[in-house]
């Protein structure tokens, strides 16, 4: 039997560090869609399940698939199909294609990790805005309403841009806030420094500082900051 409880692994002399590393390996296997090995197999005190008695495929719900990226979905489906193949050759080909899909996912993950660095800045931005809203004298309901609108604004930033692709009218549709109430919400966000609105022709463009929520490659972040300074701070006209 390959599944051994943690307390039994400790009794067998497996260190806490090795157990922790094995648990991290299991989590990585889950994320990649690979078959998850038991702790005992990973630390080398148990044998993997016999090929003659493979792990049966699991039932994949739409919700379970949606939690994964496109390539991870493809890899998981291929791995599951490989388990159902009667031909070892076809099963190995399916696993080979699954490995290729996982590599593509890993390549995307590198970009996601870089993007995550910007998200940490955005979290600081959200925390600062939240604190300023608390000190604004507005009711808690107004503060929450402003944060809900800000979430949509940062969600719909253009690629490598500080400009929101949605207008105030679009934000009304997304949040259910009426136009009469949206105007003071945007004014409040501008007062606390969360956004800045600039007039471009007949349109009012909603922007956020790139330090607040930048969407794009980190290597382009400095250019976005400089462009924001030229377009919004120096050249833009604020609409209160």
The answer, yes or no, to whether residue 114 has pLDDT greater than 70, is no
* 22-32 CB burial, b ≥16 within 10 A, e <16: beebbeeeeeb
* Gap between the Cα atoms of 224 and 219, Å rounded: 10
Confidence (pLDDT) at 171: 94
196 in any annotated domain: yes
- Crossing angle of helices 16-32 and 70-84, rounded to 10°: 100
- 197 has which bridge partners? 206
160 in any annotated domain: yes
Instruction: State the DSSP code for 157.
Output: B
Tell me, yes or no, whether 146 and 77 share the same domain. no
Nearest Cα neighbor of 206 from 216, 215, 214, 196 is 196
15 in any annotated domain: yes
Range of the domain at 162: 136-234
| Domain final position from 65, 93, 110 | 110
Confidence (pLDDT) at 161: 76
115 in any annotated domain: no
Tell me, yes or no, whether 100 and 20 share the same domain. yes
Do the strands 196-200 and 203-207 form a parallel or antiparallel pair, or are they unpaired?
Answer: antiparallel
The answer, yes or no, to whether residue 239 has pLDDT greater than 80, is no
* Gap between the Cα atoms of 111 and 50, Å rounded: 38
* Gap between the Cα atoms of 104 and 190, Å rounded: 41
Tokens, residue 12: 């067998």
* Gap between the Cα atoms of 28 and 8, Å rounded: 23
Kindly state the average pLDDT of the residues 117-135.
74
Mean pLDDT value across the chain: 75
Tell me, yes or no, whether 100 and 158 share the same domain. no
The answer, yes or no, to whether residue 206 has pLDDT greater than 90, is yes
Q: The CATH number of the domain where 160 resides is what?
A: 1.10.10.10
| Domain final position from 93, 110, 127 | 110
Nearest Cα neighbor of 151 from 133, 173, 174 is 174
Tell me, yes or no, whether 88 and 142 share the same domain. no
Q: What is the pLDDT of residues 13-35, one digit of tens each?
A: 778 887 887 787 777 777 766 67
Tell me, yes or no, whether 18 and 70 share the same domain. yes
Nearest Cα neighbor of 197 from 234, 232, 155 is 232
126 in any annotated domain: no
Tell me, yes or no, whether 78 and 164 share the same domain. no
199 in any annotated domain: yes
Higher pLDDT among residues 35 and 116, named by residue: 35
The answer, yes or no, to whether residue 163 has pLDDT greater than 70, is yes
Domain count within the chain? 2
Tell me, yes or no, whether 41 and 80 share the same domain. yes
Tell me, yes or no, whether 49 and 101 share the same domain. yes
Higher pLDDT among residues 211 and 67, named by residue: 211
Tell me, yes or no, whether 162 and 200 share the same domain. yes
Tell me, yes or no, whether 31 and 76 share the same domain. yes
Tell me, yes or no, whether 101 and 155 share the same domain. no
Q: What is the pLDDT of residues 165-180, one digit of tens each?
A: 899 999 999 888 999 9
68 in any annotated domain: yes
* Gap between the Cα atoms of 1 and 69, Å rounded: 33
Tell me, yes or no, whether 13 and 66 share the same domain. yes
118 in any annotated domain: no
């Amino acid at each position: 039997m390959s599944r051994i409880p943690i307390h039994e692994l400790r009794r067998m002399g497996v260190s806490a560090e090795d157990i922790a590393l094995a648990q991290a390996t299991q989590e990585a296997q889950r994320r990649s869609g690979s078959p998850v090995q038991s702790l005992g197999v990973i630390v080398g005190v148990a044998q993997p399940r016999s090929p003659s008695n493979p792990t049966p495929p699991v039932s994949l719900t739409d919700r379970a698939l949606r939690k994964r990226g496109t390539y991870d979905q493809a890899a998981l489906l291929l791995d599951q199909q490989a388990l159902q193949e009667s031909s070892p050759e076809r099963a190995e080909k399916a696993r080979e294609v699954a490995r290729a899909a996982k590599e593509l996912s890993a390549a995307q993950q590198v970009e996601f990790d870089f993007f995550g660095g910007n998200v940490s800045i955005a979290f600081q931005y959200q925390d600062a805005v939240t604190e300023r809203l608390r000190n604004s004298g507005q009711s808690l309901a107004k503060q929450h309403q402003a944060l809900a609108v800000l979430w949509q604004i940062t969600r719909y930033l253009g690629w490598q841009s500080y400009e929101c692709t949605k207008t105030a009218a679009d934000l009304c549709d997304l949040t259910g806030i009426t136009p009469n109430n949206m105007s003071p919400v945007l004014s409040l966000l501008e007062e606390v420094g969360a956004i800045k609105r600039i007039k471009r022709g007949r349109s009012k463009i909603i922007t956020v500082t790139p330090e607040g929520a930048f969407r794009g490659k980190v290597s382009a972040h400095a250019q976005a900051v400089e462009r924001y300074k030229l377009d919004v701070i120096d050249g833009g006209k604020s609409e209160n």
